[in-house]
Amino acid sequence: MNRILGWGLRAVSLVAVLAIIVLALGVEIYAFKQIYATIQEIILGHKGEDTIVKDSLKSLDLVLLGVILTSVATGLFELYIGKIPNLPSWLVIDDLDGLKSMLIKMIIFIMAVSFTGRIVTYAGGMDILYQGVGLAAVILALTFFLQKN
């Protein structure tokens, strides 16, 4: 009975991993379309510098999101299905806390890149200050969570 339950849980985990991989591929394809459009705008010169920087950072955000999803799928595979040989040390996951830690670090990085895009296209006003303070509070909370665990 335990053997059947174990294989059933692995099968459910495999479906989740495959779904995350498909999602990562979809995000990467969308990111490449965004990058292609940005390159076209650069070559044709139809957009201003601020818009190009903003679009470039948005594309970077999407690529990083795809990488995060791939990393999560790899971590879940390693935790529930089996070890993957020859992975870089930063991608080897031994427990769920390791996966959460890796995910939090990547999310903080994406938040920083996204906020940088907002700063570059800043048009004035106090809203950027509120966004920055809110972002800093989230980063501090996530960092505290990482330090505690």
pLDDT score at 10:
86
Structure confidence by residue, pLDDT tens digits, 86-114: 888 888 888 888 888 888 888 888 888 88
pLDDT score at 149:
67
Structure confidence by residue, pLDDT tens digits, 49-64: 778 888 888 898 899 8
Nearest to 146 by CA among 99, 114, 112: 99
Please give the model's pTM, rounded to 2 decimal places.
0.79
Residue 130 confidence (pLDDT) above 70: yes
Higher pLDDT, 3 or 33: 33
Structure confidence by residue, pLDDT tens digits, 62-77: 998 999 999 999 999 9
Mean pLDDT of 119-123: 75
- The 3-state secondary structure of the chain reads CHHHHHHHHHHHHHHHHHHHHHHHHHHHHHHHHHHHHHHHHHHHCCCCHHHHHHHHHHHHHHHHHHHHHHHHHHHHHHHHCCCCCCCCHHHCCCCHHHHHHHHHHHHHHHHHHHHHHHHHCCCCCCHHHHHHHHHHHHHHHHHHHHHHC
